[in-house]
Amino acid sequence: MTNTNIFPEGFLWGAATSAPQSEGAQYADGRTASTWDVWYEKEPERFYNQVGPQHTSYVYERYPEDAQLMADMGLNSFRTSISWNRLLPDGQTLNQEAVAFYRDYFIQIKKNGVQPIINLFHFDMPWWLMEKGGWENRTSIEAFAFYARTAFEQFGDLVDTWTTFNEPIVHVQCGYLGNDHWPQVYDFKRAITVGYHTMLAHAAAVREFRSVMEDSGKEIGIILNLSPVYAKSDQSDDQKAKRYAEEWHIKSFLEPAVNGHYSPFLIETLKENNLLPKIEPEDAALLLQGKVDFLGVNYYQPLRVQAVDKEKVNIPAKSPADFSKAYDWPDKKMNPYRGWEIYPEGIYDIAMMIKNDYHNIPWYISENGMGVADEERFMDAEGIIQDDYRIEFIRDHLEQILKAIEAESSCYGYHLWTFVDCWSWLNAYKNRYGFYRLDLETGNRIPKKSSFWLHGIIEESKLDL
């Protein structure tokens, strides 16, 4: 329990989405294909109800309306991403229609008193680059740097706050240690290479930012999912499993983003298992240039682990599962609609980890939220979704943020995923997350009860405890 219910002045209130999940206008005005577009064309049956990335949430046409709705709700910030393959359809040629769209999108947001936070990569690899190997190909590093520099030059006068990647571990795990992202392969060594090149690309983008935005006072960060790791027990094998899980799932991206290098423990583990990627002499200097000004932290659920049965461990390792395995905590509270554990206390533990181990670098909750299927069953006679479950979820997580701030954490904001219900990769619109319900037939935005509730919290800058 916290002793204060007042949020600090300037606290960031907002929501987040991404270009591929909200814009639509799939091939309009010069946009070329991403991996999602091509994958859907190859295997539409892999997508829920065969709903692909063609239309999503109509933001390309309806962004002025969304900007007004953000103001009506009292939000002061909003994160979305730029589509790489819309801005640079072939990786080199600047698409002036994309420039016009994004400039007016950001202007409309700012006119309504909302600060745009713009991300560069949200799982949407341009197909022209994937055909060359995507992040496995080392040329992707400078290709991303060129894209980042172009974005800074075109929109740097409108955008003060930038991020390079959203949850970079996800395209590694889901694409190279699973089949939920393209290219659907399972190869630990290739996954390590993809993760390494991703962080070099991040560092190259930060280098370009410092060059273009020199002395501007603008900031750049990265969005990481920093799920706190909890061991089944205090026994040494379970604690060792926790240490490995933290290295793979948290520190592999957090260490280079904040400190500019990887942890010696992770490097030694990679060596022992013949998993080190190819490292060039100039890489260490580049990684040092990638240190960020702030962190965005996506938090949905904790990671609970236990020791792996010794007879099942592969040497050398074939996957992170050779170091730890999932632990099903019997006392957990579940979101029955999404299958994820609800554990608000995780936010406080993240805050203390950042405070004590990462110099208390400024950070905010860049995503948090609750996906619910068949949400229309909670609709009242006026067509309003009575999402009291979401209100309870947000309230419990905000209480932990207040507790963290009271403990001198440098947390400065909260963003919900998402503002208007958006398309989700393989699940389309099965699970709804937004403050606003999207009518799939008309594209209309209808406020949910949670939007009115949060508007009151923002106005008072106070949480009822």
Within-domain flag for 5: no
Q: Is the confidence at residue 465, as pLDDT, over 80?
A: no
Residue 382 pLDDT level (bands cut at 50, 70, 90): very high
367 is catalytic: yes
SS3 310: helix
40 pLDDT band, cuts 50/70/90, is very high
Task: Provide the CATH number for the domain around residue 188.
Answer: 3.20.20.80
Is 2 contained in some domain? Answer: no
Q: What angle do CA 22, 26, 27 make, to 5 degrees?
A: 150
Please report the pLDDT score of residue 426 as a whole number: 87
Residue 6 placed within a domain: no
Lowest mean pLDDT among 29-38, 133-142, 177-186, 333-342: 333-342
Tell me: pLDDT of 338 over 80. Answer: no
Q: Residue 8: what pLDDT?
A: 97
- Summarised one tens digit per residue, pLDDT across range 13-29 is 999 999 999 999 999 99
pTM: 0.97
pLDDT at 457 over 80: yes
Buried b (16+ CB within 10 A) or exposed e, 243-275: bbbbbbbbbbbbbbbbbbebbeebeebbeebeb
Classify residue 343: in a domain, yes or no: yes
Marked catalytic residue, from 23, 246, 341, 367: 367
Residue 281 located in a structural domain? yes
For 162, phi then psi, to 5°, come to -125, 155
Q: Which of 167, 208, 341, 399 is catalytic?
A: 167
465 in a structural domain: no
167 is an active site residue: yes
pLDDT tens for 199-255 read 999 999 999 999 999 999 999 999 999 999 999 999 999 999 999 999 999 999 999
What pLDDT is recorded for position 1?
62
Domain, as residue range, for 28:
12-460
The pLDDT value recorded for residue 2 is 67
Overall number of domains in the chain: 1
**pLDDT mean across residues, the chain:** 97
How do residues 302-321 score in pLDDT, each as one tens digit?
A: 999 999 999 999 999 999 99
444-449 contacts at long range (C-beta below 8 A, 24 or more positions apart): 445/62, 445/65, 445/66, 445/69, 445/420, 446/383, 446/384, 446/385, 447/69, 447/73, 447/384, 448/384, 448/385, 448/386, 448/387, 448/390, 449/384, 449/385, 449/386, 449/387, 449/388, 449/391
Tell me, yes or no, whether 4 lies in a domain: no
Q: Residue 353 has what pLDDT? A: 98
Mean pLDDT of 256-272: 98
Residue 7, domain member (yes or no): no
